[in-house]
């Protein structure tokens, strides 16, 4: 399994590609699948603010569109600002990975532990909304 510090570094690198001309708040995410593959995502803003998408959902959508359905962890970087996934992202993640580990920073390069926080999604969203549905084959 990939080291969480390495996963966070991938999220930090991805944040450089964010499109955030309005908020200037660049966010990167690195999503680790159960099989060890990593999908990255960034926030992409739009002049019609609600049409933007967060980094976490971007990473999930990329992975899901490639057939992935099992996830182990997601790292989220927002530069020097401590950031956790927003409510929409938390609920979105709960649909696919209710037991995922959420890794947040900020991470200072000179610290051995990196200042990372690792929490299960259930701690960030204790009573996620869920419907009983059958998955199509």
Residues tagged active-site: 56
Give the torsion through C-alpha atoms of 68, 10, 128, 24, to 10 deg: -120
Structure token digits, residue 50: 């609600």
Helix and strand totals (H; E) in the chain: 4, 5
Report the candidate in 92, 100, 96 with the shortest Cα–Cα distance to residue 121.
100
Beta strand residue intervals within the chain, DSSP E: 28-33, 38-42, 71-77, 101-104, 117-120
Pick from 51, 49, 48, 92: nearest CA to 74? 92
């Amino acid at each position: 399994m990939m080291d969480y510090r390495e996963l966070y570094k991938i999220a930090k690198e991805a944040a450089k590609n964010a499109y955030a001309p309005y908020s200037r708040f660049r966010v990167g995410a690195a999503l680790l699948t159960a099989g060890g593959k990593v999908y990255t995502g960034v926030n992409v803003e739009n002049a019609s603010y609600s049409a933007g998408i967060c980094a976490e959902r971007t990473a999930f959508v990329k992975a899901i569109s490639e057939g992935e359905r099992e996830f182990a962890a997601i790292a989220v970087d927002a530069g020097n600002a401590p950031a956790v996934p927003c409510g929409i992202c938390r609920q979105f993640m709960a649909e696919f990975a209710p037991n995922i580990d959420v890794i947040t920073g900020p991470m200072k390069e000179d610290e051995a532990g990196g200042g990372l926080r690792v929490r299960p999604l259930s701690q960030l969203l204790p009573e996620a909304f869920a419907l009983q549905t059958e998955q199509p084959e």
